[in-house]
Structure 1
């Protein structure tokens, strides 16, 4: 596993990350069939505003940037309290490795760093959501010891 240095995001990094990750969230919801494309970005922004009323300084939220030892950014993670108030359980809202660095072990290294950060904030466990079609992420979480807590399934009817 490669070494990563993890530090809090600086404001300009957060601003870029916020916009990029909100667009990614919108596109992911469209691809999953959850939101219509014409409303997706608006819905994503509304969701983010609800979770982050004070942006980067919202109480309990932690925004981290992962870097190689030479200072090259490789990814980002967003941690916070569990949205449903599960006691002693943190929540991994977002984790992503920048495209050029995927497949080299940085995801596993960043996930481990996120777990350590959650522990340092008092969490005894960490929960997350993942789209079922994201095979790479599902495999990472399974091989890192995560188990299914709830599972949502959908069948699309082709005859309409």
Structure 2
């Protein structure tokens, strides 16, 4: 496995990440039929700000050698209050660094950071349409603990 470490995001990295994260999350919510397109970006941005303001969060840049390759957002306080369980809100390997095993290494580095922050387990959500990410998590030892299913009735 490739060697990846993590460090806190710089202010510039944080602001760029906040913009990209909100844009991506808004698109996913609209595509999933959960939100209307109008106001989705603002809703995502406000929601992320509220989450970050409540609790203990790690906003990390993944580094291979001296090259930033991705980012992680881990909440050390679980959003539903699960004791000892951190929550992985976001993980992403930059497009130009994909396909080299860095996602698995970044995930492992994030797990170590969560462990160092006192977490005994790490939970995450993955959209059903993201089969590649789901396969990564399952092959990394994650287990399905809940599922949501939806059928359009129109």
TM over 0.5: yes
* Contiguous gaps of at least 5 residues in structure 2: none
* Contiguous gaps of at least 5 residues in structure 1: none
Give the C-alpha shift of residue 59 in structure 1: 4.7
What's the counterpart of residue 28 of structure 2? 28
**Is it true that 1:82 corresponds to 2:78 in the alignment?**
yes
| 2:38 partner SS | helix
CA distance in structure 1 between the aligned counterparts of 2:49 and 2:120, rounded to whole angstroms: 27
Give the C-alpha shift of residue 64 in structure 1: 0.7
CA distance in structure 1 between the aligned counterparts of 2:111 and 2:5, rounded to whole angstroms: 14
Q: After TM superposition, list the pairs within 5 Å mapping 1:1-160 onto structure 2.
A: 1-53=1-53, 59-69=55-65, 71-80=66-75, 81-157=77-153, 160=154
CA distance in structure 1 between the aligned counterparts of 2:134 and 2:72, rounded to whole angstroms: 16
Hey, which bits of structure 1, 4+ residues long, moved more than 6 A? Answer: none
| 2:35 partner SS | coil
Deviation per residue, 1:65-114 (Å, 9 max, x gap): 01221x22110000112101100000001001111111211110000011
- After TM superposition, the score normalised by the length of structure 2 is 0.94
CA distance in structure 2 between the aligned counterparts of 1:28 and 1:93, rounded to whole angstroms: 14
- After TM superposition, the score normalised by the length of structure 1 is 0.91
Shift in CA distance, 59/84, structure 1 to aligned 2, threshold 3 Å: closer
CA distance in structure 1 between the aligned counterparts of 2:33 and 2:105, rounded to whole angstroms: 31
Give the C-alpha shift of residue 47 in structure 1: 1.0
Give the C-alpha shift of residue 32 in structure 1: 1.4
Aligned residues between the structures: 153
